[in-house]
Amino acid sequence: MKVFKFGGASVQTVERIQHAASILKSYPNEKILIVISAMGKTTNALEKVAEAFFAGHTDEALKLFEAIKQSHITTAKYLLVTHFNPLMEQLGHFFTEVEWLLHDKPVREYDYYYDQIVCVGELLSTAIVSAYLNESGLRSQWIDVRDIFRTDDNFRDAAIDWNYTSQRVLEDIRPLFETAEIVLTQGFIGSTDENESTTLGREGSDYSAAVFANLLDAESQTIWKDVEGVMNADPKQFPDAQFIAELNYEEVIEMAYYGAQVIHPKTIKPLQNKGIPLLVKCFLDQNLPGTIIHNKQVKGLPPIIVLKSNQALLHLHSKDFSFVGEKPVADLYQLFTDIKIKPNLIQTGAVSIQICLDDRADKIEKLALDASDFFEVQVEKGLTLLTVRHYEEPVLQQLTKGQQIKLKQQTPQTVQVLMQQQ
Ligand code: ASP
Ligand code: MG
Supply the DSSP string of 169-209, one letter for each residue.
IIIIIGGGGGT-SEEEEESSEEE-TT--EEE-STTTHHHHH
**Higher-confidence position of 361 and 108:** 108
Give the residue whose CA is nearest to atom 3 of ligand 1.
Answer: 203
Residues 6-21 pLDDT 10s: 999 999 999 999 999 9
Residues 157-179 pLDDT 10s: 999 999 999 999 999 999 999 99
Cβ of 204 less than 6 Å from ligand 1: yes
- Dihedral angle of Cα 129, 130, 131, 135, to the nearest 10 degrees: 100
* For residues 333-359, average pLDDT: 93
Lowest mean pLDDT across 185-189, 254-258, 388-392, 410-414:
254-258
Residues 76-89 pLDDT 10s: 999 999 999 999 99
Ligand 1 nearest atom to the CA of residue 204, by list position: 8
Q: What phi-psi label fits residue 345: left (phi over 0), alpha (psi between -120 and 50 degrees) or beta?
A: beta
Q: How confident is the model at residue 340 (pLDDT cuts 50, 70, 90)?
A: confident
Give the residue whose CA is nearest to atom 7 of ligand 1.
Answer: 203
Could you give the domains of the chain?
2-218 (3.40.1160.10), 304-421 (3.30.2130.10)
In which element (H, E) is residue 312 found? Answer: strand 304-318
Q: How confident is the model at residue 200 (pLDDT cuts 50, 70, 90)?
A: very high
C-alpha 87/C-alpha 130 separation (Å) is 9
Counting ligands in written order, the one closest to the CA of 156 is: 1
Give the residue whose CA is nearest to atom 5 of ligand 1.
Answer: 203
Q: Which 3 state secondary structure label does DSSP give 16? A: helix
Sequence-ordered list of residues with C-beta below 8 angstroms from that of 247, at least 6 positions apart, any chain: 230, 291, 292, 293, 298, 301
Q: Which of 42, 114, 203 to mutate to test the pocket of ligand 1 (most atoms within 8 A of CB)?
A: 203
C-alpha 56/C-alpha 403 separation (Å) is 43
Ligand 1 nearest atom to the CA of residue 7, by list position: 7
Could you tell me the distance, in angstroms and rounded to a whole number, from the CA of residue 208 to the centre of ligand 1?
Answer: 11
Nearest to 160 by CA among 172, 143, 148: 148
Cβ of 224 less than 6 Å from ligand 1: no
